[in-house]
Amino acid sequence: MADTVQDPRLFRDTMGRFATGVTVLTFAVGDEVRGMTANSFTSLSLDPPLLLVCIGRDVSTFPLWERVDSFVVNILGDDQKAVSDIFARHGAPPVPDSGVAYHDGAVGAPVLDGTLAYAECRLSARYEGGDHTIVVGEVVNFSIERPNDQPLLFFAGKYRTLSPAS
């Protein structure tokens, strides 16, 4: 029904019926080394290798995102809910103060340790998307770190884990 589109909460709940994985986006701008939990990650193109993430214009790190020239998509495993919580929090600490282990990556942004996989990107484009900005990254390096482990999932506003389909 058209009028339900006027209800933002119902819209969000409806979109939340699409199950996703959970990532932490990490990036460095000047001295600021930050992370942000995000499930808007989508792979976009194989050739060239592109992915996208959507950044809310009201998140506190948004001014940094306007200056980002590289970032990492860290794909979380089902044992990393605590990592997701750290970087979803208002006023999340900088990555070096977060207690989450990481190493320096190829593009100048930190790569979190212990993830299922990651993709390191250089900024390719930004597009307006209503109250979000769509950030497109060109993947310059990627790795599957834990090929046999299970993902952390997000569905209907809650973290989930995989169970076999019946």
Ligand X SMILES: Cc1cc2nc3c(=O)[nH]c(=O)nc-3n(C[C@H](O)[C@H](O)[C@H](O)COP(=O)(O)O)c2cc1C
Contact residues for ligand X, defined by CB under 6 A:
22, 36-40, 54-56, 59-60, 87-88, 90-92, 154
| Closer residue to ligand X (CB): 22 or 100 | 22
Q: Which is nearer to ligand X, 39 or 70 (CB)?
A: 39
Contacts (Cβ under 8 Å, ≥6 apart) of 142: 49, 117, 118, 119, 120
Whether the Cβ atoms of residue 26 and residue 109 lie closer than 8 Å to each other: yes
Q: For residue 19, what are the contacts with CB-CB under 8 A and spacing of at least 6?
A: 153, 154, 155, 160
Residue 74 near residue 37 (C-beta atoms within 8 A): no
Q: Which tokens belong to 54? A: 């959507």
Nearer to ligand X, 99 or 106 (CB): 99
The residue of the chain with the least Cβ separation from ligand X equals 40
Min dist CB 155 to ligand X, Å, is 10
Q: How far is the CB of 106 from ligand X (least distance, A)?
A: 23
Residue among 148 and 158 whose Cβ is closer to ligand X:
158
